[in-house]
Amino acid sequence: MTSQESGETPANSSFESGLLYKRLKQLTFDWGGKRKTPGSLIMSHVSPRARYQLFICVQLDDEIEMVSRALEPDFSVHGMRSGHLVMEYSEAQVVALAEYYLQEILPLLGNHEVVMGWRSVIGQRGCSS
């Protein structure tokens, strides 16, 4: 399998030219909320009265919508698509995605307290057994 087929970003290219970015962009193109830039993978549901910024990594837009409705107006909720079923969990893939999301998160921080969250399918299965 070539690096392009596995979703790896070519060493001489930016993350946005790699297959992983393209897959995530396709999966999030119709998510609700607003993107900071047209190429952003993070979708934001901003509350003007928010005291906190919640960054959550999920698989579906519905999860972000539900959390946003439940936490408004105290939280602005920013959703990121997880790599589940999109990428191989190699160290290079995880680092590339984390670094890309970090570069998108930093401009969104503002002067609010930050909360990070995620939904773990493995954790749910482990707890329900």
Residue 80 — very low, low, confident or very high, per pLDDT cuts 50/70/90? very high
Q: Which domain holds residue 75?
A: 3-128
Say how far apart CA 41 and CA 75 lie, in whole Å: 19
Average of per-residue pLDDT across 65-76: 94
pLDDT per residue as tens digits for the range 95-129: 999 999 999 998 988 777 787 766 655 444 333 33
Task: Give me the pLDDT at residue 120, please.
Answer: 58
67, 46, 64, 38: which is closest to 109 by C-alpha?
A: 46
How many domains does the chain fold into?
1
**pLDDT (0 to 100) of residue 119:** 63
> 7-52, pLDDT tens digit by residue?
444 443 589 999 999 999 999 999 999 999 999 999 999 999 999 9
- Residues 87/37, Cβ–Cβ less than 8 Å: no
pTM of the model: 0.78
